[in-house]
Structure 1
Amino acid sequence: MKKSVRYFLFLIILVILYLLAVKLNFYHYSQTRTDFALNFNRLIFINLISCGPIGFLLGFESFLNEYRKSGGWNIDVPRLIILCLPFLLLSAMPILIFNFGIGRLPIVGSIIITDNKLLSITIFNILFGYFLITSFYKK
């Protein structure tokens, strides 16, 4: 019974986070239609605060299992560097491309900027949140 209540709360929080992400993105796109300019900085920030917690929540059960263990907290630094940092940079790639001119490089511009860049930003933010929370463990 206790596990099913926890999973039900998990599902409710996940749906609320998803609805928050949809609402924030809808507000951003409706504002974009009136301003006729897509602000990538705001878009990345909106996706980071709305989709990052979804990944965070997906890895939360692993974090709870580690929390129940005895011992001191440690950080898996290779996991942070090899997994978290690239997903954070990939989710911020439109900012890097349009603000710092990285997109002028033909290989980077053609690989990173695809038709589904907003979906990939969302996926990268979810993976960033998941790998961030699962990087903490107890010995």
Structure 2
Amino acid sequence: MRKNLWFRYLFIIIFLSILIFLKEYIVRKIQLDYYRNFEMNFLHYIFIPLIFNVLIGILLGMDHFMNEIKKEGSWHINLPKIELLGIPSLLFSLTFLFGYMGLTFANRLLSQTSSLEGNYIAVFQIIFGFTCITCLYKGNKM
């Protein structure tokens, strides 16, 4: 059993490292294409990091999910966690998309937090992925 834990965590850290480096490589390629051609598909620039960061959050919560799979009972969703943590983190995760669409509140949020250089968005995307995977749990029938 102890050996399986070592392999599980080794797999998680290797896969996590691959995801992070692959995300940075792809985002850098998109930026280099922009610097060469001065044309950028902003949707690629918005959604590719979003997908990778959500996957990172899911991977971080995978240990919880694997433990829940082993339990008996039916699947349930922790609604307070989704409502209080998942939805706000999703909204902050999509700030660049809302700004791209020209929504006023997103432009205000982006201008207020411009000193953060958008790094908070990646954190919220990871929190969203983590929340999505850890809000699922198994419980006995009541």
Q: Give secondary structure in 1 for the equivalent of 2:73.
A: coil
Within-5 A mapping of 1:1-139? 1-102=3-104, 106=108, 108-117=109-118, 119-139=119-139
Root-mean-square deviation over aligned CA pairs: 2.0
- The change in CA–CA distance for 1:138 and 1:53 in structure 2 (over 3 A counts) is same
Answer yes or no: is the 8 Å Cα contact 1:47–1:121 preserved in 2. Answer: no
Answer yes or no: is the 8 Å Cα contact 1:102–1:109 preserved in 2. Answer: no
- Percent sequence identity over aligned pairs: 31
Gaps of 5+ in 1: none
Q: Give secondary structure in 2 for the equivalent of 1:100.
A: coil
Distance of 1:127 and 1:54 partners within structure 2: 9
TM-score, length-normalised on structure 1?
0.87
CA deviation string 1:39-82 (max 9, x = no partner): 44222201121111111000000111111110000011221122
CA deviation string 1:56-114 (max 9, x = no partner): 000000111111110000011221122111111111112212313315875x3433444
Q: How many residues get paired?
A: 137
Distance of 1:112 and 1:103 partners within structure 2: 12
